[in-house]
A and B are shown apart, each in its own frame.
Chain A
Amino acid sequence: MAEVTITSRTRAGGMRKLLERYPFLPALAIVVALLLLNGLFSPNSLSYRSLTGLLSTYMALVLLAIAQTYVIYAGDIDLSAGSILSLVNVAIVVLMERWGGGAGAVLLALALGLLLGLGCGLLNGIVVAALRLQAIVATFATSIFFTGFALYILPVAGTPAPALFWRTYGGRLLGVPFVFYILAVLVVLLLVLSRTRLVTQLLAVGDDQQAAFQTGLPVVQVRIKGYLLCGLFSALAAFCITGDTASGDPLVGGRMTLYSVAAVVLGGSALSGGWGTVVGSLLGALTIGLINSVVFFMGTPSEWQNFVQGFAILVVLMAGVLAGRRARA
């Protein structure tokens, strides 16, 4: 196997070499093309202001896609990511409201939200890695459980988040929109994570679980850690959606799970595990957001919008898979 890789690498042309080093390039190209299309149909949509709006709306999906990436690295999948997001969303909103909505209450609620996300991730990890249930069906079952828990905390959507929280999220700090700080922190966080041993271990497990085990990796623990990261980032995604919608909704994340999987694939990562990039997933999530925006600005009749979006996403999904395979070849 190794020899094949080496020969193909030495023979690789410039394009392939580039793809191999920066596998998210196709996703980046798609994002740029969609931005240009957006600008073509509505020049206003490329303004600083609308781009900030786009980012703050889709930041939650970006984080959820990143969450999903870490489990997909290890060849697993998490169909409960969206419901973890919903659960953390209602939990922090209810806690903030109960504690009065001051700065201390907000921070404490956020800390508990992170712990809740980690707890959900731990449950998923135990169920999938330690109890060895099949990831697709087991995380679907936990997603039902998490949704039930979210409904228990807040039966109907509507409790508002404290103004302090969403004003900060949608506002500016030193003249720069707050989401850009989030993006900057995120980039640093991802860089740090990519230097850790954990990401390499996740990829090794996803590439060949048996081989990883035989080289002495604690496969079960590594997979659990993947789910922990997923829970953590899902909680962060919940913070962003709370900032964006300014309220609690026990079903807000239901539909986002499958989008997060789509975003990972759009970013060129392999669903079978062992290969991928988080930057690709970030771009994949933005692609989904931009497609929705292009379809809107193109003046598509409202009843056709969902269809055109669905079709465009299917097409770029295929492109993502094909490009990812080219890069790995």
Chain B
Amino acid sequence: MTRILSFARQPLVVALVLIALLLYLGQTLSPGFASGGQVLRLLIVASLLGIVAAGQNVVILGGREGIDLSVGGVVSLSAIIAGNVMNGADSGIVPAILACLAAGAFFGLLNGLGVTLLRIPPLVMTLGMLGVLQGLLVVIRMGIPSGRAAPGLSSFVTQPLAAGIPGIIWLWIAIGVLMAFMLHRTVFGHRIYAIGSNEHAAYMAGVPVRLMRVALFMISGMFAAIAGLCLLGYSGSSFANVGEQYTLASIIAVVFGGTSLAGGKGGYTGTMAGAILLVILQSILTTVNIDESGRQMVFGATLLLLMMFYGRGRAMRA
């Protein structure tokens, strides 16, 4: 009995059960909600969030109040860069990918250096960086048009690639497998958990803590950049602050996936389920016929309710 109970309380299981329940609820509220095509559309949206959350996930796992509030800015920036580099031509896709990755890595590097060398708390550093990125977006937007997605990129994101499933979902699955491999089978992954659960002990054991932390922020920047690129493919052209919503949503996806904000505990598989859960919830609220205010109130209340299932803090004991 206890074994069943502890299995049922695993975050991944909780998330999957909730996903099934929400799909059922959606299907009852508006028939066709859980149809194949609709689920694929949901998964495309979830994969965009999930890719951002992958970077957020490693930063949070790395501990010391690790968090990256600048991901939303990087997503927006990357969408603009990609749109201008490719400007509607398939030949521009590879240069666009390289340019986006470079930009993401650069801002991640700045975040990482601020956090390690100057020992600025990640929340403060990445919050400041978000302000810089938002300013940069205004500068870029005044100077040049927002650009267009190449047809190749758009079809990769929205059209079936293999087995009737769009390329971006395959990409997300690949990222999921890679993340699981990296976190659980490589030295790098083990070191993330090590610095996340006890930085000092990890340092004493010879883990290059600072280097690791800089790398985590760079990974986060690059995942956000990939998501920005895919987002451009999804919407065709970028618009102001398209990435803003991803900042806090990615943190929520990580939390719903069972990763503790204190670091050192959790994984990416749960985060993927968390991203799907969040997107389904939003989608149900859009199909239900209530106005914006009611939708937001229900969304906020449901988020609170769902959080009750996950990693609540321990009660104080003497």
User: A residues near B, CB below 8 A?
Assistant: 79, 127, 131-134, 136-138, 140-152, 155, 209-210, 213-214, 219-220, 258, 261-262, 265, 271-272, 302-311, 313-314, 317-318, 321-322, 325
Contact B128 A310 (CB under 8 A): yes
Given contacts A141-B307, A261-B127, A321-B121, contact A306 B134 (CB under 8 A): yes
| A313→B127 CA distance, assembly (Å) | 10
Q: Is the CB of B318 within 8 A of A214?
A: yes
Q: Which residue of B lies closest to A317 (CB)?
A: B128
Partner of B295, one of A148, A262, A302: A148
A-B contact pairs, 11 of them (CB 8 A): A133-B304, A140-B248, A143-B300, A151-B296, A213-B318, A262-B127, A265-B121, A271-B123, A304-B139, A310-B128, A314-B128
Given A141-B300, A261-B127, check contact A318 B120 (CB 8 Å): yes
Q: Which residue of chain A is the closest to B135 with respect to CB atoms?
A: A307
Chain B interface residues toward A at CB < 8 A: 65, 67, 69, 114, 118-121, 123-125, 127-136, 138-139, 141-143, 248, 251-252, 255, 261, 291-301, 303-304, 307-308, 311-318
Decide if B307 touches A313 in the complex (CB within 8 Å): no
- Tell me the nearest residue of chain A to B137, going by C-beta: A306
Please, which residues of chain A bring their CB within 8 A of the CB of B318?
213-214
The majority secondary structure among interface residues of chain B is helix
Most chain A CB inside 10 Å of its own CB: which residue of B133, B134, B316: B316
Taking a contact as CB atoms under 8 Å apart, the answer to whether A137 and B261 are in contact is yes
Contact between A134 and B255, CB atoms less than 8 A apart = yes
Asked if A307 and B293 sit within 8 Å, CB to CB, the answer is: no
Q: Do residues A307 and B139 form an inter-chain contact, with CB atoms below 8 A?
A: yes
A262, B299: Cβ atoms closer than 8 Å = no
Contacting pair B315 A132 (CB below 8 A): yes
Q: How far is the CA of A321 from the CA of B127 in the complex (A)?
A: 13
B121 x A141 contact (CB < 8 A): no
| Cβ–Cβ < 8 Å partners of B315 in chain A | 132
Asked if residues B131 and A310 are in contact (CB atoms below 8 Å), the reply is yes
Q: For B299, what are the chain A residues with a Cβ–Cβ distance below 8 Å?
A: 144-145, 148
Chain B residues with CB under 8 Å of A303's CB are 138-139, 141-143
Q: Are A317 and B120 in contact (CB under 8 A)?
A: yes
Partner among B114, B119, B130, B297 whose Cβ is within 8 Å of the Cβ of A152: B297
Q: If the complex has contacts A143-B300, A147-B296, A152-B297, are A134 and B316 also in contact, measured as CB distance less than 8 A? A: no
Given A144-B300, A310-B133, A318-B118, also A137-B307 (CB < 8 A): yes
A262–B303 CA distance with the chains assembled, in angstroms: 26
Q: Assuming the A-B contacts A134-B261, A307-B135, are A145 and B296 also in contact, with contact meaning beta carbons closer than 8 angstroms in the complex?
A: yes
B132: nearest residue on chain A (CB-CB)?
A: A310
